[in-house]
Amino acid sequence: MYFRIGKLPFLFFPFLLVSVSHVQARHVQQNTAQTSAATQTKDSKQYVGSETCKGCHEDVYKATEQTPHYKMGFQPGAPGKGLNCEACHGPGAAHVEGGGDKSKIIVFENLSMAEANKRCLSCHTYGNEHANFTRSAHASNDIGCISCHSPHHAKTQRALLVEKQPQLCYQCHTEVKAEFSRPYRHRVNQGLVQCTDCHNEHGGFLPKQLRTSAAQDQVCFKCHTEKKGPFVFEHLPVETEGCVSCHTPHGSTNPRLLRVSQVNLLCLQCHTLAMSNVPSQPPIGPAHNQAQKYQACTMCHAFIHGSNFSEVFFKP
């Protein structure tokens, strides 16, 4: 939408959306902080403070001091400002008066997975990273926040994971662990790539909980930018099925992570008269002898991901 000031047109609508979204987010955060502050004032006698918790749980207290959770207790507007331990575990007065009675305080190990998730998401609910967790594959299979994260005894400074990647993911995804041991694979085991670089473990809108690039393209284009395009002549499978139509992303016994050993056999899965829904003909001409094992299609059709010069992806 445009409007004019004098003779100059101005693009207004996108900036309005950004402004409104920003204001709404600020209002939500302010309301959350006000509600937290009001609740804390109303029930102030039920809270004992983190120093009291430290008297019995000194090892946990010292470990928590090194985490973002502890720092959040001092930030203005934070939901747990001034509460620290009790921001997650609830008021501790009855717990202290009961001589450490665990039934008088919230213990995450005793909660159902849904209840524990709800408490975590009361803070970790803003932004795209956690917004879809309740409908994610992990939540649907009763894998919750504390299955992967530990606020007290984390083995990673970032994300507070109970185990480093990819070992944490391998505990459930054993079939993927085997794929990353194949001769050709993404170097996840070497630490150059992490599972969460491609997958949003908290859920998303794409299959396999895949992430997207900043431009909302396939996640593969975050690294393989030269394959992204746009091209004058697009290779249809790249646009319709994506990279996985030809490649296995985790690992393969074939070079370039291809699904089959010979390039010709891969191409002929689509480029044949039997595939009537593919708008192309099988290879024709006297030079196309498919019996010659080492005469790969890509020797001539070199720019197979897309080309700006040739509609059959020949070299320029």
pLDDT tens digits for range 249-278: 999 999 999 999 888 888 888 877 655 455
Whole-structure pTM value: 0.75
Coil/strand/helix, residue 89: helix
Q: Using alpha carbons, list the distances in angstroms from residue 299 to 245, 269, 303, 316.
A: 20, 18, 10, 13
- Output 200 or 295, whichever has higher pLDDT: 200
Residue 237, both tokens: 């499978």
pLDDT digits (tens, 9 = 90+) for 115-144: 999 999 988 887 788 989 988 999 999 999
In a domain, 183, yes or no: no
In a domain, 292, yes or no: yes
Coil/strand/helix, residue 252: strand
Q: Which of 194, 202, 261 shows the shortest CA–CA distance to 223?
A: 194
In a domain, 243, yes or no: yes
In a domain, 35, yes or no: no
pLDDT band for position 14 (cuts 50, 70, 90): very low
Give me the count of residues in the chain: 316
Distance CA 212, CA 242 (A): 12
Query: What phi and psi, each to the nearest 5 degrees, are found at residue 251?
Result: -175, 155
Coil/strand/helix, residue 204: coil
Q: Which helix (H) or strand (E) holds 100?
A: none
In a domain, 51, yes or no: no
Q: Is pLDDT above 50 for 297? A: yes
Residues 6+ apart with CB under 8 A from 252: 182, 183, 184, 185, 258, 259
In a domain, 6, yes or no: no
Q: Which of 190, 224, 218 shows the shortest CA–CA distance to 206?
A: 218
Residues 6+ apart with CB under 8 A from 105: 89, 90, 91, 92, 94, 95
Coil/strand/helix, residue 132: coil
In a domain, 200, yes or no: no
Q: Is pLDDT above 60 for 193? A: yes
Q: Using alpha carbons, list the distances in angstroms from residue 207 to 137, 166, 199.
A: 10, 20, 10
Domain extent for 280 = 226-307
Overall number of domains in the chain: 1
Mean pLDDT of the chain: 80
In a domain, 230, yes or no: yes
pLDDT at 291: 65
Coil/strand/helix, residue 196: helix
Pure H helices in 261-313: 263-268
